[in-house]
Amino acid sequence: MKWYEVKEQAAGHKRLMLLWYIYKIAGRKPVQFIVFFVTLFAFLGAPKIRKCSQKFQKIVSGNGSLLQAFRHFLNYAYTLIDTMEMYTDRFGVKNIYFADEKDKQILFNDFNRRKGVCFLCSHLGNTNAMRVFFKSGTEIDWIKVNIFLEVNQCKIFKNFLSKIAPDDPINVYPVEDIDLTTSIDIKDKLDKGEIIFIAGDRISAHNADAVFSSDFLGHRANFPIGAFRFSLIMDVPVYLIVCIREKDGKYAIHLKKFEFSAGRKERLAELQNQYIKFLEDLTKKYPLQFYHFYDFFCDKIDL
């Protein structure tokens, strides 16, 4: 089962809006209470997805129990509440920090030179935490953000944001529609100092052969080669990024700037290698925040 074959259990537009209205009226705790039971019913009603979670958790943490899989589901559900708060300015910038101040300074130096930046992100943690800095009154709140999403996610995401944050400046692009026109448009924006986020850990639903295979956590997995090529041809600084939710509810931003001087082919291979290692190291530390609920690996894995 691939990720695009997974039917969303609790992330439709109507469900998102209902949770948002409850949140506005009652606050976070009642929504968390509701989300717990919604997640429980979704967990019980999704045996294939549940088994995928168990398999992954067994590989990364050695614990493939039902309880561990449910915690995996629940962590994912709770990120929705965080995301709603992040997009409506209710998640203060004080709740987000950089794991390494040196990495932060390197990034801010690129921002302040009005260089566009490409962030290669993933479905580990919640990258939405990063966007809090771009509407927080900080020194970089002038930066405009562009995000690439799968087309169905793009539709749900944009509709939801238009309701809860109609003035949000973020532009969302369907990743399937990247063509010459899109590339020129994005390049123009990057030249003006804007930034882009593109995920490097999910293959395309419409071009499943555009992948490269790599060892990940001791098993073979496919990654979308297009995201890495696109990042390099934009000719701007490329950063690997993961935003992890800590136990105190705050988010730690983990960064790594890609730096490698060589030919195009060698740079592509090195970017892939650095991304895989970066993602693998953090996934081992935070297995419950790796939000893939399908057969992520190419080889057959039994519980």
pLDDT in tens, 199-219: 999 887 666 678 899 999 999
pLDDT in tens, 130-143: 878 776 656 677 78
Q: What's the average model confidence in pLDDT over 168-189? A: 79
Q: What's the average model confidence in pLDDT over 2-17? A: 57
pLDDT in tens, 29-73: 999 999 999 999 999 999 999 999 999 999 999 999 999 999 999
Given a contact cutoff of 8 angstroms between Cβ atoms, the answer to whether 170 and 154 are in contact is no
3-state SS record for the chain: CCHHHCCCCCCCHHHHHHHHHHHHHHCHHHHHHHHHHHHHHHHHCCHHHHHHHHHHHHHHHCCCCHHHHHHHHHHHHHHHHHHHHHHCCCCCHHHEEECCHHHHHHHHHHHHCCCCEEEEECCEECHHHHHHHHHCCCCCCCCCEEEEECHHHHHHHHHHHHHHCCCCCCEEEEHHHCCHHHHHHHHHHHHCCCEEEEECCCCCCCCCCCEEEEEECCEEEEEEHHHHHHHHHCCCCEEEEEEEECCCCCEEEEEEECCCCCCHHHHHHHHHHHHHHHHHHHHHHCHHHECCCCCCECCCCCC
pLDDT of residue 4: 41
Q: How far is it, in rounded angstroms, from Cα 35 to Cα 184?
A: 41
pLDDT of residue 173: 77
Comparison of pLDDT for 277 and 207, the residue scoring more: 277
Predicted confidence (pLDDT) at residue 103 exceeds the cutoff of 80 = yes
pLDDT of residue 166: 67
Q: Read off the pLDDT band of 156 (50, 70, 90).
A: low
Other Cβ atoms less than 10 A from the Cβ of 6: the count is 16
Q: Tell me if the pTM is above 0.85.
A: yes
> Which structure tokens are listed for 287?
């297995």
Given a contact cutoff of 8 angstroms between Cβ atoms, the answer to whether 111 and 103 are in contact is no
pLDDT of residue 195: 92
Given a contact cutoff of 8 angstroms between Cβ atoms, the answer to whether 205 and 176 are in contact is yes
Q: Read off the pLDDT band of 271 (50, 70, 90).
A: very high
Instruction: Give me the percent of the chain exceeding a pLDDT of 90.
Output: 51
